[in-house]
Amino acid sequence: MRRLGQQVIAAATTLSFLFLMVHTTLAADPEIDRLIRGPVGKDWVTNGGNLTNQRYSTLKQIDTTNVAQLKGAWMTRLKGSGAAGKYSFEASPLVKDGIMYVVTGNDDVFALNAKTGTIIWEYWSGIDQRISTVCCGWVNRGLAMGEGLLFSGQLDANLVALNMKTGEVVWKTPLEKWENGYTITSAPLYYDGIVYSGISGGEFGVRGRLTALDAKSGAILWRSYTLPGLGERGSETWPPGTDHSTRGGATIWNTPALDPDLGLVYFATGNCGPDYDGSMREGDNLYCASMMALKAKTGEYVWHFQQVHHDIWDYDAASPVVLFDTVIDGKPRKGIAQAGRTGWVYILDRTDGKPLIGIDEKPVPQDPRQKTAKTQPIPRGDAVVPQCAELLPGYEKAGCIFETFWETPVLMQPSGIGGTNWSPVPYSPDTGYFYVPGTVRTSAFTRFGDKYVQGLRYTGGSQSAPIGSPMSGTFTAIDGTTNKIAWQHKTPYRIGGGGGSSVTAGGLVFRGEPDGNFLALDAKTGKELWRFQTGFGADAPPVFYEVDGEQYVAIATGGNQLQGSAYGDAVWAFSLKGQLGPLWPPPAPQTVAGPTGPIAAGADAVRIGANNIEYSFAPARMRIKAGSTVTFTNVGDLPHSATSMDRGKWDTGVMVKGQSKAITFAQPGNYYYICLPHPWQYGQVIVE
Ligand SMILES: [Cu+2]
């Protein structure tokens, strides 16, 4: 990380040098640079609103006094793009000069008239539907724009630039190959001629990195790895003489933030790999589950803060980092915050990465087999979700956030599927609050060995919510000066998994719910002021814009498979002059983990991924006679398995599309099973 020269190919160094010379005098796109350096006004030109990722708009035509009158101005269906069970719709639309740009879970991009919703052009990505290295739903978390181009990171690991006027491809640069485990799910960031992109693949034994490209040509300027090479800074936190760090994960799930005055680009990193097996990677394992700052021009390391040492719980820092300015003890401070799956908000000084409010290293449970870290950093203040699990029938042990586990399942919260996951966290300079969505659910963790094979899952264990365990959420205002709860709502559904919210100078927080409702809350008190049924899972983070003097609020409603909400392909825009009323509600998400649906009697086959519901068993529940054989066939697009909840009992193994495996159930009993790659996918065989 320290020596840029090692990471940059010679040609690119020369190129970027020339490029920097030019850019010190003349910005490539002064208008976009100005817009994303300043407060968000009538346009919303980058995923997080501006370079801070605050998702705070200065528009205030819609405010606490009139929001109750808000109605739909228009609703547009995106021609079925991304409308199937394997997709999530997590992108914020971008808006500039009355035109909206939105990307779906299939990486298809649409330009719409932001006043009427009429489609102006379409870009169909044509991405390979056989991509097998997507861990957590087919998703694109948003676009960036600059120099007349739109930038989109695709699941096939290509970064694409489209002409903003026509949707035509101007350049396409592969950052990696999906066959090797790499995908792109994050929104890129454009600033000062450079496009920054993260990369995903933390469940597939990959090496995380931030890649910087020349916006005009698509040439790669530099790559800054989040895992050290041999002898590099941080390599001492991996076992000496091994190459575990080269496949240790630390991917970048989300849009970076950038401070132009400090010249730093910031992001957070994902879990260590293999996720649940720390036995062979003794040490803190930098820079997994960390916040990082690099020099924005060169990618050179500046500072890091690791949230979870030697992560064995899948505690990714998946939500985007947020930059904010505040006053603490009478002194103005430059802050950076990130909400983790741990349930805490980590608040640091963005000049040096030191805690702003206080984060204390405290002793945690130990298991020498997992080579657990002696201490973990515990932020002062409040967690937004419960951090201990209750014991459930059928389990021997339940523990808290950093409990250890080996081969016997151990229950824990928040777990790697709880807390704040990919959802962004808005910040309002008016209230000084962060608005933090969280998921409340229990996971049963087990470790088993995994051999590294390039391009295949490499997790070393599993976590899944126990059958019958409750799943819900929280929405919390956290005071940025104390890291304490100002107000908190319990929500009926999971909302930290990619659902979103944004905040305005009109004193309003807007957020969607997985049951299709779109809400406006008083940002200061949390009081609900407006609610509208959109008809589809309303999970994506909303945005604000203005056309012809009228303020709009827009949200993509396309569901989120991790939150269990109904899929769709709609974009809604609301305004005070809107005329459209609510739609019929979609099916509500599950609030209890486990298989659902009627019990099929006499069936002898289970189809996985059937009926356009990728993460499903059909039938999910069945009753058979002892001695019967059930044939499991994968008819979906992605690799799936049927694996006994007690993994030792039976397992089809991971099957690609078209593969089958027959399992004979000799003994009467109640057999629950999951899909190992997608442990929220449940089935049940009742044997009589
Ligand atoms: Cu599956």
DSSP letters, 244-313, are: GGGG-B----S--EEETTTTEEEEE---BSSTT--TT--S--TTTTEEEEEETTT--EEEEEESSTT--S
* Closest among 346, 377, 351 to 362, alpha carbons compared: 377
Ligand 1 centre distance from Cα of residue 367 (Å): 30
* pLDDT the model gives residue 645: 83
Distance 243 CA to ligand 1 centre (A): 30
Q: What mean pLDDT do residues 601-614 have? A: 86
Reply yes or no on whether the pLDDT at 8 is more than 50: no
Encoded tokens for 115: 């006043």
- Is the CB of residue 248 less than 8 Å from the CB of residue 238? yes
What does the pLDDT read at residue 647?
A: 65
Range with the poorest average pLDDT among 156-160, 250-254, 337-341, 646-650:
646-650
Distance 634 CA to ligand 1 centre (A): 9
pLDDT above 80 (res 214): yes
Least confident of 139-153, 160-174, 267-281, 585-599: 585-599
Q: Is pLDDT above 90 for 496?
A: no
Options 314, 316, 515, 637, the catalytic residue: 314
- Any idea what DSSP says for residue 585? P
Average pLDDT over residues 579-583: 98
Per-chain mean pLDDT for the chain? 93
Q: 393: pLDDT confidence band, cut at 50, 70 and 90?
A: confident
Distance 315 CA to ligand 1 centre (A): 21
Q: What is the pLDDT of residue 9?
A: 43
- Residue 499's pLDDT is 83
Dihedral sign (CA 322, 39, 96, 22): negative
Span from the CA of 681 to the centroid of ligand 1 (angstroms)? 6
For residue 365, how far is its CA from the centre of ligand 1 (angstroms)? 32
Q: Is the pLDDT of residue 17 over 60?
A: no
pLDDT band at 12 (very low <50, low <70, confident <90, very high): very low
The confidence band for 610, taking pLDDT boundaries of 50, 70 and 90, is: confident
Residue 676 CA to ligand 1 center (angstroms) comes to 7
Mean pLDDT across 87-95: 96
Instruction: Say whether pLDDT at 183 is over 50.
Output: yes
pLDDT of residue 562: 84
- Predicted pLDDT of residue 25: 56
Strands 550-557 and 570-575: antiparallel
Please, which contacts does 483-488 make with residues 24 or more away whose CB atoms are closer than 8 Å?
Answer: 483/344, 483/345, 483/347, 483/357, 483/379, 483/380, 483/381, 483/382, 484/381, 484/382, 485/382, 485/384, 486/431, 486/433, 487/525, 487/526, 488/384, 488/526
Percent of the chain with pLDDT over 70: 96
> Which amino acid makes up residue 633?
T
Residue whose pair of structure tokens reads 């604000």 in the numeric block:
544
Confidence of residue 5 (pLDDT cuts 50, 70, 90): very low
Residues 6+ apart with CB under 8 A from 75: 117, 534, 570, 571, 572, 573, 580
Q: What is the pLDDT of residues 293-305, one digit of tens each?
A: 999 999 999 999 9
Task: Work out the pLDDT band at 14, boundaries 50, 70, 90.
Answer: very low
- Of 283-292, 515-524, 561-570, the range with the lowest mean pLDDT is 561-570
**In this prediction, what percent of the chain has a pLDDT beyond 90?**
85
Strand order across the 410-412 sheet: 397-398, 410-412, 443-447, 461-464
Residue 637 designated active-site: no
Q: Tens digits of per-residue pLDDT, 447-479?
A: 988 889 999 889 999 898 998 999 999 999 999
- When pLDDT is averaged across residues 422-442 and rounded to a whole number, the result is 97
| pLDDT per residue as tens digits for the range 339-392 | 999 999 999 999 999 999 999 999 999 999 999 999 999 999 999 999 999 999
Report residue 212 as tokens: 């910087």
> How does pLDDT run across 243-290, given as a tens digit for each residue?
999 999 999 999 999 999 999 999 999 999 999 999 999 999 999 999
Cα(309)–Cα(323) distance, rounded to whole angstroms?
23
The answer, yes or no, to whether residue 165 has pLDDT greater than 70, is yes
